[in-house]
Amino acid sequence: MKFISIVGTNSNDSTNRKLLQYMKKHFAEKAVIEVWEIKDLPAFNEPEDKLAPVGIAALSAEILAADGVIISTPEYDHAIPAALKSVLEWLSYTTRPLIDKPVMIVGASHGSLGSSRAQAHLRQILDSPELKARIMPSSEFLLGRSLDAFDEEGNLIYGDKITELEECFAEFSLFVEITNQLVKDHRFKANQTKLFSWEHLADGGLN
């Protein structure tokens, strides 16, 4: 499987980046995980032509090509960072690559709650009609006390959190397989229905 992971902040020193880099290394034998930065992407400014800027278009293409998406978000004032919200606004207004795309949400914070309220906020946003992502249900990975969570090599040192992350990732991998198959079957049946309706009308016209 190929996943794209998004660092949900423009901070240069983020433990959410460390978390995704750790996941890329730790799960290397199970999936290819690309880590994408949003810190150099422009702030959302509604374009008249509805065309995405180059960086947003590149991110969109990677999302479309991936089997699933992992977003790691910090928590700022009980919500996701403005930089992440801006990226989602670009995607929803232009290319809409997250429609039916499986998404796993993770988060790291300096406090003990591990970005729980920001993750709830992100779920709400991703469920909006313009984004309509397929969010893994009933599963959160919350990394609290994240400043002390990694060693000098970037390895996660909380044993219980490693086990929890492995369980969440295994669930997400299965969720991706099932979701993508369901979406594929649904689209096939929808296309077959359209084809059947057209042929039925054509036959009716000929008879």
Predicted pLDDT at 182: 93
The domain limits of the chain are: 2-206
Closest CA to 37 of 12, 54, 57: 12
Residue 68 phi/psi, 5-degree rounding, is -165, 170
Predicted pLDDT at 66: 98
Q: Residue 82: which residues within 8 A CB-CB, separation 6 or more?
A: 43, 76
Judge contact between 14 and 74, C-beta under 8 A: yes
All residue ranges of the chain with pLDDT < 70 are 188-207
Predicted pLDDT at 138: 79
Closest CA to 171 of 73, 27, 52, 74: 27
78 residue type, one letter: H
Predicted pLDDT at 198: 44
Predicted pLDDT at 205: 47
Predicted pLDDT at 79: 95
Predicted pLDDT at 204: 52
**What pTM was computed for the model?**
0.89
* Residue located via tokens 């599963």: 139
| Helices and strands (H, E) in the chain, number of each type | 5, 6
Q: Which CATH superfamily is domain 2-206 in?
A: Flavodoxin domain (3.40.50.360)
